[in-house]
Structure 1
Amino acid sequence: MSAVFVNVAPVFLLILIGWMVSRTGLMEEKAGDAIAEFVFKIALPTLVFRTLAEAHFEGASPFRLWIAYFGGVAITWTAGHLVARRFFQRDAKIGVIAGMSSAFANNVFIGLPLVGRSVGNDGIVAISILLAIHLPLMMIAGTILMEHAASKVDGGGRRRLGAILRQVGANLARNPLVIALCAGLIYNLSGLGALPVVVKSVVDQIASTTAAAALISLGMTLRKYPVRGNLSLAAVMAVLKLLLLPAAVFSLAKLLGLSPAWTSAMVLTSSVPTGINAWIIATRFQSGSSLAASVISITTIFGVISVSFWAWLLN
């Protein structure tokens, strides 16, 4: 248990430090936004590029990894949607946000640092493979489902699938993480070998800032997601996020025979708090933003317990 504590506690302590820095006024909240922008546009893409450029895949297929993770996502998203619609009697738009909030893990800002500490480079390779399609799939699914729900609840037409795909595709083409993923894979497949010494030194120094900067910036911006309204529904979605999603991913990973390192990476990243993307879609469609914000905060507060449990179970 001490090894689990050593790996998990620093992740949430860094989030707490960021929250305290913002709460006490030592640094303004907008500084957290600036640090987060640095992480998203520079530090994290550098880490992902280095990881994939130097990775040894040894013929490993990503498809079982994707099936295990997104199978768990589908199970949890469906459960969250049905609970919101059938048990809490909420409309279709809230149902989509509830399902997405229960199934969208913060793989970038929490999952990647956690897996890096707990699993090591093999885990980072697994997360990088997941991230290659995670954001596109989740954002496309969320947008399409919300378009459909909005047409039912608010009336009026909905955009064609092609228009949605073009919009999401255009956003992804400019996404630094997607660019880094592609660049890392291209370099790896090119057979150029190790990065030049000077380049590797610079890349290593930038990549080493990723974990701390990501977690502190997340803590500094948590005040954007207050717990208010929809508390019963938000609490149920938090339970689904922290318990059902990792349990489903764990079961599917074992069933599909993923390696221990990849299984640990997928389960740990699925057990982390909810990411902000559900809140982004809720804000875009002007429905369920308080629910998404509440789930983000609740899962972040209690995430240390769930992550510790799954880390202990995997060990």
Structure 2
Amino acid sequence: MLMTLAALLPVILVIASGYLVARTGLITGEQWRGVERLAYYVLFPAVLFRTIAGVDFASLPTFDMGAALLSSIVAMVIALLMLRPVLERVFGITGPRFTSIFQGTVRWNAMIALAIADNVIGEQGLAILAIAMVFMIPVLNIASILVLSHYASGTTPSGAKIARDLYTNPFIVSIGAGVIVNVLGIPFPSAVDDTLEILARASLPIGIICVGAGLDLSSLRRPGPALTLGTFLRPVFMPLIAFGFVHLFGVTGPAQTVVIIASAVPSASNSYLLARQMGGDAKLMAEIITLQTLAATVTIPLAVLLFG
């Protein structure tokens, strides 16, 4: 566990530095939005494209890993939907609050996952995680939108809008472009590769600094059932479910570790934006993300130690 924690400690410290930078006012709110957009639309797509374009798919358990991840997601989605009436009857958790618990449990922060995979496994970890994103991002986006449209008070998006959100997602576009380049064996000049490498090196530190800047400790209130469930269902049960499916599909080695990392990291930061746009409980969503990120200093090392 000490080795895993040592690999995670730099990521944790960079998240903390982002929080401190934001609280000192060195970078203001609107400036942070610009940094986040730079990471989301330029830097992370660069690392994903370059990684996927150069990975040897034949040497990795691509489809077995994808099956394990998708099975884990589907199992958790079904469990949450079955629990929905119980949560309302026992704890009085309304539809909008349930959507925040749902997003907090099934969605994942790809920026943190990439940084951890790079630190724990190295370049191969980035490649495996990029492949995992191919399977996870579309499914999680669609599931979150459908649950919010059904249980929250927001406007139900059309099928065309859901499709547009997916094919304009910079992560999906960059992964798709990388797959095309890889499969067709298209070479690109060394100058282009060097440029992408520079952008890729910048992506992880900037991305996780933005994660730290987004933490809002002042918004936290005394934990109730909704906040407790939303915070701990994911780090406790998702790695356990994923562990069962990686064994079922025969996924081992670094790929198994990546599946556990993807299952253990906190919920995606943009879950808050989706909750706000579609009538979910945005305040609860922000609290869940904050507490999960703080708890990740303990829960991720334990998950990797026990299941990775």
TM value normalised by structure 2: 0.90
Q: Which string of whole-angstrom CA distances, capped at 9 and with x for unpartnered residues, describes residues 261-303 of structure 1?
A: 1110010121111112432232122231122111101101111
Matched letter for residue 69 of structure 2: Y
Match of 2:120 among 108, 118, 121: 118
User: 1:127 matched to which residue of 2?
Assistant: 129
Mapped partners of 1:171, 1:225: distance in 2: 32
Matched letter for residue 45 of structure 1: P
- Please say if residues 215 and 290 of structure 2, whose CA atoms lie closer than 8 Å, have aligned partners that are also in contact: yes
**What aligned pairs does 1:86-125 form with structure 2 within 5 A after superposition?**
86-106=89-109, 108-125=110-127
User: 1:3 matched to which residue of 2?
Assistant: 3
User: 1:171 matched to which residue of 2?
Assistant: 165
Mapped partners of 1:51, 1:192: distance in 2: 14
Mapped partners of 1:224, 1:196: distance in 2: 46
- Please say if residues 211 and 269 of structure 2, whose CA atoms lie closer than 8 Å, have aligned partners that are also in contact: no
User: 2:75 matched to which residue of 1?
Assistant: 75
Q: Which string of whole-angstrom CA distances, capped at 9 and with x for unpartnered residues, describes residues 201-243 of structure 1?
A: 1111111111111011111122399324763321222111111
Mapped partners of 1:76, 1:237: distance in 2: 13
User: 2:288 matched to which residue of 1?
Assistant: 295
* Aligned Cα root-mean-square deviation (Å): 2.3
Mapped partners of 1:59, 1:2: distance in 2: 30
Mapped partners of 2:121, 2:219: distance in 1: 32
- Please say if residues 239 and 307 of structure 2, whose CA atoms lie closer than 8 Å, have aligned partners that are also in contact: no
Question: How far is 1:116 from its partner?
Answer: 1.3
Question: How far is 1:86 from its partner?
Answer: 4.3
Q: Which string of whole-angstrom CA distances, capped at 9 and with x for unpartnered residues, describes residues 103-151 of structure 1?
A: 2111x2101111111122332222212212422211211222222224x
Equivalent residues, number: 305
Question: How far is 1:85 from its partner?
Answer: 3.0
**What aligned pairs does 1:256-295 form with structure 2 within 5 A after superposition?**
256-295=249-288
Mapped partners of 1:241, 1:31: distance in 2: 31
Task: Mark the runs of 5 or more structure 2 residues left unpaired by the alignment.
Answer: none
Q: Which string of whole-angstrom CA distances, capped at 9 and with x for unpartnered residues, describes residues 45-68 of structure 1?
A: 110011011100116553322231
Mapped partners of 1:133, 1:228: distance in 2: 35
Mapped partners of 1:14, 1:60: distance in 2: 30
User: 1:85 matched to which residue of 2?
Assistant: 88
User: 1:311 matched to which residue of 2?
Assistant: 304
User: Identity over the aligned pairs, expressed in percent?
Assistant: 21
The worse-fitting range, judged by mean Cα deviation, of 184-193 and 263-272 is 184-193
Question: How far is 1:167 from its partner?
Answer: 0.3
Mapped partners of 1:230, 1:76: distance in 2: 23
Mapped partners of 1:297, 1:80: distance in 2: 21
Mapped partners of 1:279, 1:219: distance in 2: 15
Question: How far is 1:304 from its partner?
Answer: 0.8
Q: Which runs of 4+ in 1 moved over 6 A?
A: none
Question: How far is 1:2 from its partner?
Answer: 3.5
**What aligned pairs does 1:15-164 form with structure 2 within 5 A after superposition?**
15-58=15-58, 60=60, 62-81=62-81, 82=83, 84-106=87-109, 108-150=110-152, 159=156, 164=158
Identify if the C-alpha distance between structure 1 residues 117 and 217 changes in structure 2 by more than 3 Å, giving closer, same or farther: same
Q: Does 1:205 align with 2:198?
A: yes
Mapped partners of 2:77, 2:262: distance in 1: 16
Task: Mark the runs of 5 or more structure 1 residues left unpaired by the alignment.
Answer: none
Identify if the C-alpha distance between structure 1 residues 10 and 84 changes in structure 2 by more than 3 Å, giving closer, same or farther: farther
Mapped partners of 2:197, 2:177: distance in 1: 16
**What aligned pairs does 1:217-232 form with structure 2 within 5 A after superposition?**
217-223=210-216, 226-228=219-221, 231-232=224-225
Q: Secondary structure at the match of 2:274?
A: helix
Q: Secondary structure at the match of 1:276?
A: coil
Identify if the C-alpha distance between structure 1 residues 198 and 287 changes in structure 2 by more than 3 Å, giving closer, same or farther: closer
- Please say if residues 33 and 217 of structure 1, whose CA atoms lie closer than 8 Å, have aligned partners that are also in contact: no
